[in-house]
């Protein structure tokens, strides 16, 4: 910052004082230069004072603008920090919304008792598979599985044990299929298997394997020691261009035949 002391004006006051001393000297009063010098002195003093005033104003303005700039910087930093905080909060909020909507979606397509996909999801997938079949002529097999004489299990061992049996059957079915196959609970003691890219013959092999697994299940229960179950299955293959309800109806008809044929068997049509 400039001050009057370190400007070219700094020598001014001493010079003015020297001239003032000369003007005040009685010996020089009569000098013809006295009057013009006195005028010059008055003029120089006035200019000097004006200049000093300007410098003071300019220094004051400089101080004011510097503190204003610092104030603005501080306010800007404060706003940036607030915006960063808001962005962090908004990120966390969006993440928890995403997690919430994923878990809602998961709950809406999951069967609470067995943990398998539920009927709603199975219908979505059937529509997708039929759409895919229409576009790309890709086949899939559909198996409708029903637990045999399940009412008798409920009646003898109670509904809670019945639930455990359903849970064990669900685990056995899910554990026996391939990664891209879908096993879901269609409702009650009925399960549905969607086997993408699987022709009927391959579907038959897979379902026969499932039947063996279910027959091998042994579920501890009182009274009487344990429960063994069997399933009946209706299997069919998607026919190009048909609606999901037609594929489903054929699987259902095949299941009915399996039941009527004595249960614990597979009927493929």
Ligand X SMILES: Nc1nc2c(ncn2[C@@H]2O[C@H](COP(=O)(O)OP(=O)(O)OP(=O)(O)O)[C@@H](O)[C@H]2O)c(=O)[nH]1
Give catalytic residue positions.
189
Closer residue to ligand X in complex, CB, 114/198? 114
Residue spans of alpha helices (H) in the chain:
12-24, 34-108, 119-136, 150-157, 159-176, 200-216, 244-260
Residue with nearest beta carbon to ligand X: 162
Residue with tokens 């004051």, as numbered in its chain = 60
Looking at residues 224 to 253 of the shown chain, list those that interact with ligand X (rule: CB under 6 A). Answer: none
Q: Backbone dihedral region of 262: left (phi > 0), alpha (psi from -120 to 50 degrees) or beta?
A: left
CA–CA distances in Å: residue 206 to residues 88, 115, 163, 212, 213: 51, 22, 25, 10, 11
The answer to the question of residue 215 lying near ligand X (CB under 6 A) is no
The answer to the question of residue 189 lying near ligand X (CB under 6 A) is yes
Which is nearest to 118 in space by CA: 171, 180, 192?
192
Q: Indicate the Cα dihedral angle 52, 53, 58, 59, nearest 10°.
A: 70
Closer residue to ligand X in complex, CB, 144/194? 144
Q: How many residues bind ligand X (CB under 6 A)?
A: 16
Closer residue to ligand X in complex, CB, 116/139? 116
37 upstream amide cis, omega within 30 of 0: no
Looking at residues 77 to 116 of the shown chain, list those that interact with ligand X (rule: CB under 6 A). Answer: 113
Q: Could you give the strand order of the β-sheet that contains 182-187, starting from the edge strand earlier in sequence?
A: 182-187, 190-196, 140-147, 231-237, 266-268
* Angle at the Cα of 242 from the Cα atoms of 241 and 243, rounded to 5 degrees: 125
Closer residue to ligand X in complex, CB, 139/229? 229
Looking at residues 114 to 173 of the shown chain, list those that interact with ligand X (rule: CB under 6 A). Answer: 146-151, 154, 159, 162-163, 166
Rg for the chain, CA atoms, rounded: 49
Q: What are phi and psi of 141, to 5 degrees?
A: -110, 150
Which is nearest to 140 in space by CA: 171, 191, 182?
182
Q: How far is the CB of 195 from ligand X (least distance, A)?
A: 22
34, 41, 246, 263: residue in contact with ligand X (rule CB under 6 A): 263
Closer residue to ligand X in complex, CB, 146/237? 146
Closer residue to ligand X in complex, CB, 79/151? 151
134, 246, 259, 265: residue in contact with ligand X (rule CB under 6 A): 259
Q: How far is the CB of 164 from ligand X (least distance, A)?
A: 8
Q: Which residues bind ligand X (CB under 6 A)?
A: 113, 146-151, 154, 159, 162-163, 166, 188-189, 259, 263
């Amino acid at each position: 910052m400039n001050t009057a002391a370190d400007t070219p004006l700094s020598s001014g006051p001493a010079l003015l004082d020297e001239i003032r001393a000369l003007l005040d000297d009685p010996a020089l009063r009569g000098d013809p230069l006295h009057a013009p010098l006195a005028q010059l002195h008055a003029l120089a003093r006035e200019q000097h004072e004006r200049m000093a005033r300007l410098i003071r104003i300019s220094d004051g303005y400089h101080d004011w603008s510097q503190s204003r700039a610092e104030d603005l910087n501080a306010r800007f930093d404060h706003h940036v920090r607030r915006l960063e905080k808001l962005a962090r909060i908004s990120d966390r909020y969006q993440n928890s919304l995403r997690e919430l909507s994923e878990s809602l979606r998961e709950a809406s397509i999951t069967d609470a008792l067995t943990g398998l996909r539920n009927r709603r999801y199975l219908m979505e997938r059937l529509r997708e598979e039929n759409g895919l079949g229409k576009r790309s002529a890709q086949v899939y097999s559909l198996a409708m599985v029903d637990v045999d004489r399940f009412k008798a299990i409920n009646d003898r061992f109670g509904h809670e044990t019945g639930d455990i049996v359903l849970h064990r059957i669900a685990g056995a079915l899910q554990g026996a299929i391939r990664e891209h196959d879908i096993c879901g609970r269609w409702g009650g003691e009925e399960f549905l298997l969607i086997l993408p890219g699987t022709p009927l013959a391959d579907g038959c092999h897979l379902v026969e394997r499932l039947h063996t697994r279910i027959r091998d299940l042994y579920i501890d229960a009182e009274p009487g020691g344990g429960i063994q179950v069997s399933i009946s299955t209706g299997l069919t293959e998607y026919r190009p261009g048909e609606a999901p309800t037609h594929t489903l109806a054929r699987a259902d008809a095949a299941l009915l035949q399996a039941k009527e044929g004595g249960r614990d068997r597979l009927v493929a049509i």
